[in-house]
Amino acid sequence: MASSTKYIFITGGVTSSLGKGIIAASLGKLLQSRGFSVTIQKFDPYLNIDPGTLNPYEHGECYVTDDGAETDLDLGHYERFLNTSTSQSNNVTTGRIYNNVITKERKGEFLGKTVQVIPHITDEIKNNFYKLGQEGKYDVIITEIGGCVGDIESLPFIEAVRQARWDLGPNNFLVIHLTLIPYLKAAKELKTKPTQHSVKQLLEAGIQPDILVCRTEYHLPAEVKKKLALFCNVQLNSVIEAMDADTIYDVPLLMKKEKLDERVLSKLKLSSKQNTDLDEWKDFLGKLKNPTQEVTIGLIGKYVSLPDSYKSIIEAFTHAGASVECHVNLKLISSEEINLDNFKSKLSDLDGILVAPGFGERGFEGKIETVRYAREEKIPFFGICLGMQVAVIEFARNVLQLPNANSTEMDENTPHPVIDLMEEQKQIEQMGGTMRLGAYTCELKRGSKAYQAYGIKKVQERHRHRYEFNNKYLEQIERAGMLATGKNPDTGLVEIMEIKNHPWFVGVQFHPEYRSTVLNPQPLFVKFIEAAIENKKYK
């Protein structure tokens, strides 16, 4: 297969959650900073067609791309590090692969052949490996294989990687294996055996890793590196140490110090287009690590026991905080624990309050109490998706005096459905991939807080929801002081709600956190932090 695109595959061994996504994003950043155009894709070995129907406790947040794909949270890392958009093609699951093959089989496209894992499933996986490369836009495509080597569900992907080496040729193909070097306290030594076993499993599958990236809590002594090189059949200078870092944003610089990008360039026979330019990145890190002020912001949600459920929001605070040299001390508070009796004690020490997205009624009333407190006490408030809807419901109940106002998601028979299903959503029976998804235009009202943040009249933001503001109530709500300051120009659907007589009270129907990157902090998050800084002064 002739192609000028180079392909890097990243596999993981010993244990999951070692940070393949961060290593992929960091390597991508280093190659990008040398002038190469790079994209990263993730292949997930589970049978869901996409993560859209997964509970966040299962898999962290579901990340949404501009083109409306519900994807793995690692795509968020790719975008935040590379500052470029991903798409439906950047995240593929086993479910999608099998779905495609079975659909072809039902149409008779295999001409009566017996459909098998090899070659039919592996061919479909390879087609998806190469899809982005056929656009001719990328010099390098990094492919992260989810899960662990040795998992039954990963086998077809690993086999497809083995075949890819022969399709692409040795100078266009590279495997990086991410592994763990555990430290045994009792023996006071680092152990290489788990890595040896992991590489052995890769070798049994026909793949020789080119580079080992070793996650470790302690520096790897020279003799440990030598042992790994010898037993795992890799060059000594291709054993890369990946120590635990203070922040994920340190990892590109640590990988540069370890010369990961240089090893990759030499093995792929790529000559660097330019010297590494990481000045902006270093500037961001400098501000991140040397803040001049601090605020405490409460993130109120129902999945707080797994912070990955709010990964993009947490990272958006990191980017926006660094841009104004402010450390955001983020307190994750379960909305289920907030009620009429304790809301003051739970929320009184906060400089700003964010009510997070979510689905379903668990913890809903706690969010209502939170919004009421923020509105009445004039604390800067930011509501995202369900957070905006809660703000509208709280306003309808306590300002318009419609005590039973609700969303039809929480109460189908509410007499005042201020939040309701869109007409086209009412006919839908399947859950997966059927929400309003992806980027839509929002037109802002001049003079509004949102307009002041963005500084432009029209913005594009990403959505992931079924329920919308019910325009039948708009006039009544606006008369009482809550204004629709952002609308979709095509449908008239409300996108942003603000309260007039309040220092900073903004609810948005979209997910601004998906657009935040290291080099482009999301404007609403920046203004929200600035409002929290102001609020703290007057406490």
Q: Is 389 annotated as a binding residue?
A: yes
Active-site option among 70, 241, 513, 530 = 513
Under 8 Å between Cβ of 463 and 480? no
Which of 28, 176, 188, 79 is CA-nearest to residue 517? 79
Q: Annotated binding residue at 432?
A: no
For residue 99, count other CB atoms closer than 10 A to its CB: 14
Is 479 labelled as part of a ligand binding site?
Answer: no
Residue 17 assigned as binding residue: yes
Verify whether residue 214 is a known catalytic residue: no
Q: What is the DSSP string of 209-255?
A: -SEEEEEESS---HHHHHHHHHHHT--GGGEEEEE--SSGGGHHHHH
Residues with Cβ < 8 Å from 18, sequence gap 6 or more?
12, 178, 179, 180, 215
d(CA 132, CA 145): 16
Check the annotation: does 79 bind a ligand.
no
385 is an active site residue: yes
- Residue 513 among the catalytic residues: yes
Residue 265 is encoded by which pair of tokens?
A: 């360039």
DSSP class of residue 291 equals: -
Q: 191: annotated binding-site residue? A: yes
Phi, psi of 221 (to 5 degrees): -65, 160
- Has 409 been labeled as part of a binding site? yes
**Closest to 162 (Cα-Cα) out of 132, 201, 113, 195:** 201
Q: How many CB atoms lie within 10 A of CB 520?
A: 12
Q: Per the annotation, does 245 bind a ligand?
A: yes
- With tokens 């294989």, the residue in question is 145
Instruction: Say if residue 309 carries a ligand binding annotation.
Output: no
195 has binding-site annotation: yes
Residue 412: how many CB atoms within 10 A of its CB? 10
Consult the annotation and say whether 20 binds a ligand.
yes
Q: Which of 62, 214, 326, 385 is catalytic?
A: 385
Tell me whether residue 475 is annotated as binding: no
Is position 194 annotated in a ligand binding site?
yes
288 labelled as ligand-binding?
A: no
Of these residues, 124, 416, 511, 530, which one is catalytic?
511
Annotated binding site for CTP: 16, 151-153, 191-196, 227
Annotated binding site for Mg(2+): 74, 144
Annotated binding site: 16-22, 57, 74, 144, 151-153, 191-196, 227, 245, 358, 386-389, 409, 466
Known catalytic residues? 385, 511, 513
Annotated binding site for UTP: 16, 191-196, 227
